[in-house]
A and B are shown apart, each in its own frame.
Chain A
Amino acid sequence: MNFPILSSLILLPTIGALFIFFVRSSNSQYQSSKYVALFITLANFFLSLYLWIIFDKSIVDFQFVEEREWISGFVNYKVGVDGISILFILLTTFITPICVITVNATIKNRLKDFLIAILILETFMIGVFCSLDLVVFYLFFEAGLIPMFLIIGIWGGERRVYSAFKFFLYTLLGSVLMLVAIISIYWITGTTDVIKLYELGIDAKYQNLLWLAFFSSFAVKTPMWPVHTWLPDAHVEAPTPGSVLLAAILLKMAGYGFIRFSLGLFPDASLYFVPLVYTLSLIAIIYTSLVALMQEDMKKLIAYSSVAHMGFVTLGIFTMTQQGIEGSIFQMISHGLVSAALFLCVGVVYDRLHTRLINRYGGLVSIMPKYAIVFMVFTLGALGLPGTSGFIGEFLVLMGAFKKNILVATIASLGVILGAAYMLWLYKRIIFGKLINEDVKKMVDLKRFEIVTLWLLVLPIIFFGFYPEPLINSIEVSVANMIDMNDLDKINKLALGD
């Protein structure tokens, strides 16, 4: 394989952005720049689909590895994928074109700039998921802040400045310690190459501090309780495509980082900090679910539900069992689809009524039946009804958790019930009930592009709910290898005392 397929995936959106940037702007060409963006993102999606097809799922090693000298004698530009990262790349390239389709309705001014920001962001997101060098990873991880900051700040709602600043500074503060840790790893082991680090291992005496440094960054990004407060603000103020990208992909960077780096590089420390992660995850699941119940703003409710769902993810990862980790990855993919869809659904009604307050709606089923159907699917997906992808993820996570700690698993299961409560209540308040407000009566049902985008998301949610095999297949070997390689099982057994 000589064709640098991963670098093409990373670079293609940037090339598209440059193209849009250099084409002269006039109102008539706003549309054409949209088509360019759509074309580029779709091309990227098919490229990544092709990558998934030719990807050999039975091999443990990283595939399509590219390596080039970058900072001489220090850091190499190295990218590659295994079964885990390829799914996230696919998720990224799938969600981005959907965002591009929706810009028409949501972005009223400076469309061209917005498309450029989205495309640049896609470059960074794909870069995060396939970089195999810590410095390269950090570069992409941090660089994503710039376009997201602008997306929230320029196209956001009323309190956009506050939210954009909070988002940027929280995340930056979290990540600076990671940079110290990365440089320390370089001086301890002499490399920042992830594959080499997997082979070398890091001395156990350094692991705890390094783990904490990485944790500080990923915990903010996940976000875990108590550093989750930037997320509701950012979600509420961001424009719909921004919320979608934030929920669907940016949050997953942290979950991915936990698996790839926290578990992969610091297995001993991960085990040591399991109680911490369990506690924070449980608080996230229960507490933020309760908070979500009380929300009056739809976007805020979904944002808090994201925190709760990410709680399941972190819980699953740190069970360190095959089921738990697989479940977490599945949950992340599923949440990527479902939360993206939910934000799009909010966007649909927001575009019509310009409010996100739940009590302004009610009785939509009689005037927007098509909308009621898709929203139903996504609600059920979010609460994890069997037959949707949400179920598989939560089920596997809980299975892993029961294997390890019955108390933790029981409390987490309560979260599932709470999740059902706030989602169904949200659905009831918006879709059912009486049509009271005059302006709600004037709302029109889904337009064609909305139907396309929403049904595009319905399909995988139901498909993977009934037939999770393709996803599980591609992560199975990599997860098993991760557990083998770091002797997570053995460590587990020692810890359990048998």
Chain B
Amino acid sequence: MENLQLIIPELYISIMIMFLLIFGVFKKNSSQLVYNLTTVSLVATLALIINLDSQIHSSLFNNSYNIDSLARFMKILLILSGIFVMLSSSKYIQISKISKIEYPILILCSILGMMVMISSNDLIVFYMGLELQSLALYVLASFNRDNLLSTESGLKYFVLSALSSGLLLYGCSLIYGFSETTNFNQIMVNTKEIEYGLTFGIVFILVGLAFKISAVPFHMWAPDVYQGSPTSVTVFFALLPKIAALTVFIRFLYIPFYELGDQWQMIIIFLSIASMVFGAVAAIGQKNLKRLIAYSSISHMGYALAGLSTGTTQGVQSSITYITIYLVMNLAFFSCLFMLKRNDEYYENIDDLSGLSKNHPLLSLSLLVVLFSLAGIPPLAGFFAKFYIFVAVINEKMYFLAIVGLLATVIAAFYYLRIIKIIYFDPEKEKFESKHNLGLKFTLVASTFFILAYFIYPSGIVDIISQININ
């Protein structure tokens, strides 16, 4: 019974999924209502998670499900991002005519999958959560089924993701074969000696996970899927799966494979450097904002991985801080994207931003703040995110990684500056609509304010995150 009490948030979401499905089927024209109910139930889930004892650290169901400080923090982050995504994209899905009852329910399903992933302490539970998440995402990516790009992106994501899931599963089976257990803690105990099969297992699992957070060289799907999916799904892609995948990364590296650090450290460093540099270079030539942000997020994942590659608690904490600030920045960026609307049509090319600052000074100002923050220029939040990462990296004397990472920020600064140039220096174009719904405005103002004011009290988030212990 006590076990069930601790997973009340997950249970609540499952019940809501079933209820909303039945409700939506029986009540005609209820898509908007279901959407709103989904948002409300996410808020309720958030309340349920916060309501759980924050000091608790217990393993449920034969030690296969973990409720600890890491899971708690990541779930709060996940649900909060989910709420803001729902708030900011409600108008978009109406106008793009994808407002169907399945949409919010699929989002709930994938959030449930991610919650299971975050808490998993067992290969099988982890894989179950991953698949629940992915299956929902395949459908979401191709949700705008009359659009060629959207269906293409759905299919592309499905094929590549299925491949990576296969690799992951193969890795899991190898690990099981060599450690005789699927439990994370048991794996750590049983793998004191390094065997080739085990190393292969680790590599396969890392490849699968790298695919999920779109780290180079497993990033190929990201730009197409980001561009092709409806923007409301793209923002979802850019935020939530990253949280879940990063958490799983942390769990794998720091519980079952912790003793095998020298086996995976080089892999993570390679993934990190490749992502940082490739993401920065490839984004330079982009013309579509969604595609650009896909490359930018590849690059950002490189920085998050750099924190993980240190193998220290401090490194993990810096990665968690990084992902938190990354979420806020991307949320703000996509909120701006949702505002580029004229006559019921959304614009997503960089050229459409031309001279935006003359007609929409406030929107341009937020974009300015967001872009400089993404580029990591002080005193904005993005700088602190990178700062913590480099503090952790340099503490481990990994100077090469630090210097490459910082040089990549200079390359990346170029394409962020290019957008700013188009907004501020170029001749103006036609005006966009200036009326937006309250949820979208609130999301933008809140996230921009966070980015701007972060430097006043940077300790707040760091203090919370420093209480997270992994082992």
Contact = CB atoms under 8 A, between A and B. Distances in A.
Interface of A: 69-72, 74, 113, 135, 138-140, 142-143, 145-146, 149-150, 153-154, 160-161, 164-165, 168-169, 172-173, 176-177, 179-180, 183-184, 186-187
B299 interface: no
B452 to A, nearest CB: 11
Contacts of A142: 377-378, 383
A18 to B, nearest CB: 11
B417 A180 contact: no
B312 to A, nearest CB: 12
Query: What 3 A-B pairs are tightest by C-beta distance, nearest first?
Result: A176-B406, A72-B459, A139-B378
Contacts of B410: 169, 172-173, 176
B417 A165 contact: yes
A187 B458 CA distance: 20
Given A176-B409, A180-B394, A183-B391, A168 B417 contact: yes
Contacts of B399: 180, 184
Contacts of B403: 176-177, 180
Contacts of A168: 413, 417
B326 interface: no
A177 B407 CA distance: 9
Interface residues of B, number: 30
B379 interface: yes
Given A169-B410, A180-B403, 10 more contacts: A69-B459, A71-B459, A143-B378, A153-B425, A165-B414, A169-B413, A176-B406, A177-B403, A180-B399, A183-B387
A146 B425 contact: no
B38 to A, nearest CB: 37
A176 B412 CA distance: 13
B395 interface: yes
A143 B379 contact: yes
Interface of B: 361, 372, 377-379, 383, 387, 390-391, 394-395, 399, 402-403, 406-407, 409-410, 413-414, 417, 420-421, 424-425, 455, 458-459, 462-463
Contact of A161 (B383, B402, B407, B425): B425
Given A71-B458, A179-B406, A150 B424 contact: yes
Nearest to B408: A176
Given A138-B378, A164-B421, A186 B391 contact: yes
Contacts of A183: 387, 390-391, 394, 402
Contacts of A177: 403, 406
A176 B405 CA distance: 10
Nearest to A127: B379
A187 B394 contact: yes
Nearest to A165: B417
A145 B361 CA distance: 20
A165 B463 CA distance: 37
Nearest to A150: B424
Nearest to B388: A71
Contacts of B407: 173, 176
Contacts of B417: 149, 164-165, 168-169
A146 B420 CA distance: 11
Contacts of A146: 372, 377
B394 A154 contact: no
B406 A145 contact: no
A187 B361 CA distance: 43
A359 B372 CA distance: 41
Contacts of A173: 407, 410
A138 B383 CA distance: 11
Contact of B424 (A74, A154, A176): A154
Interface centre among B425, B458, B463 (most CB of A within 10 A): B425
A419 B377 CA distance: 37
A396 to B, nearest CB: 35
A450 to B, nearest CB: 28
Given A165-B417, A176-B407, A139 B372 contact: no
Given A72-B462, A168-B413, A169-B410, A145 B395 contact: no
Contacts of A135: 387
A184 B414 CA distance: 26
Given A143-B377, A173-B410, A180-B394, A165 B459 contact: no
A88 to B, nearest CB: 20
Nearest to B421: A161
A72 B463 contact: yes
A41 to B, nearest CB: 21
B406 A180 contact: yes
A154 B425 contact: yes
Given A139-B379, A142-B378, A168-B413, A180 B458 contact: no
A449 to B, nearest CB: 28
B359 to A, nearest CB: 13
Nearest to B422: A161
Contacts of A72: 459, 462-463
